[in-house]
Amino acid sequence: MRFTFREYRAGDAGSFRALNEQWIAQYFAMEEKDVEILSDPEKYILQPGGRIYFAVVEAEIVGCCALIVNGPGSFELAKMAVREDHRNQGIGRALLAHVIDAARTLEARRLTLETNSKLTNAIHLYEAAGFRHLDPALVEPSPYQRADVLMEMLL
C-alpha cells in the first residue's frame, strides 16, 4: 500500500477528531482533555507551536499524530491514530518515524508520550522506535485517567 504524509491544513479538524474519537471510544471513554483538544486542535496544538501530521492513502486521510509543545525543546507525541481498516499495514510505524524526524527538524531534544497498558501493540511500536518507560511517580500527573504508561525519547 502506498501512503504519503502531510501536515495539517485548514479544514482537517474533522478528520483529526474522527480518527481519535474512533480509537478512544473503542478502548476507553472520551475525557475532558480529549474533548478540549479535539474540539479546537488549532488553538490547543498548533497555535502554541505544535504540529499535526496525517498519513494519506489516495488523497484520503487514514492516520494522524500530533506534536504538542510541553516545554522548551520538548514535545508530547499525542493523538496518534490509524483508521481501523488501514491498521497492520506499516502506516503507524512509518507515521511515527515521520513525526520523530519532524521533531528533530523542530530542534526538539525530548519527546514524551502517555498511553495505556491495554494498548500493547502501540507500546511495542513506541519501544521499537526508541521510547523508554518512565516511572509515573517521577513525572507530572497526566490529565488523562487512562494514562498508566509514560514514556520518553531523548533526541
Cα atoms found within 13 Å of the Cα of residue 73, Cβ hemisphere only: 6
- Strand-pair category, 60-71 with 74-82: antiparallel
62 occurs within a structural domain: yes
Mean pLDDT of the 50-65 span: 97
pLDDT tens, residue by residue, 131-144: 999 998 888 889 99
pLDDT tens, residue by residue, 81-125: 999 999 999 999 999 999 999 999 999 999 999 999 999 999 999
Nearest partner of 153 among 95, 105, 113, judged by Cα: 113
139 occurs within a structural domain: no
Q: What is the pLDDT of residue 138?
A: 81
17 occurs within a structural domain: yes
Q: Which domain holds residue 24?
A: 4-109
136 occurs within a structural domain: no
- Strand-pair category, 60-71 with 149-154: unpaired
pLDDT at 1 over 80: no
pLDDT tens, residue by residue, 9-43: 999 999 999 999 999 999 999 999 999 999 999 99
Please identify which residue in the block is written with the cell numbers 482537517. 12
Q: Tally the domains of the chain.
A: 1
Rounded Cα gap, residues 148 and 107, in angstroms: 28
100 occurs within a structural domain: yes
Q: What is the pLDDT of residue 30?
A: 95
What are the residues whose beta carbons fall under 8 Å from the beta carbon of 97, sequence distance 6 or more?
129
77 occurs within a structural domain: yes
- The CATH code of the domain that includes 43 is 3.40.630.30
134 occurs within a structural domain: no
Nearest partner of 124 among 151, 147, 154, 155, judged by Cα: 151
154 occurs within a structural domain: no
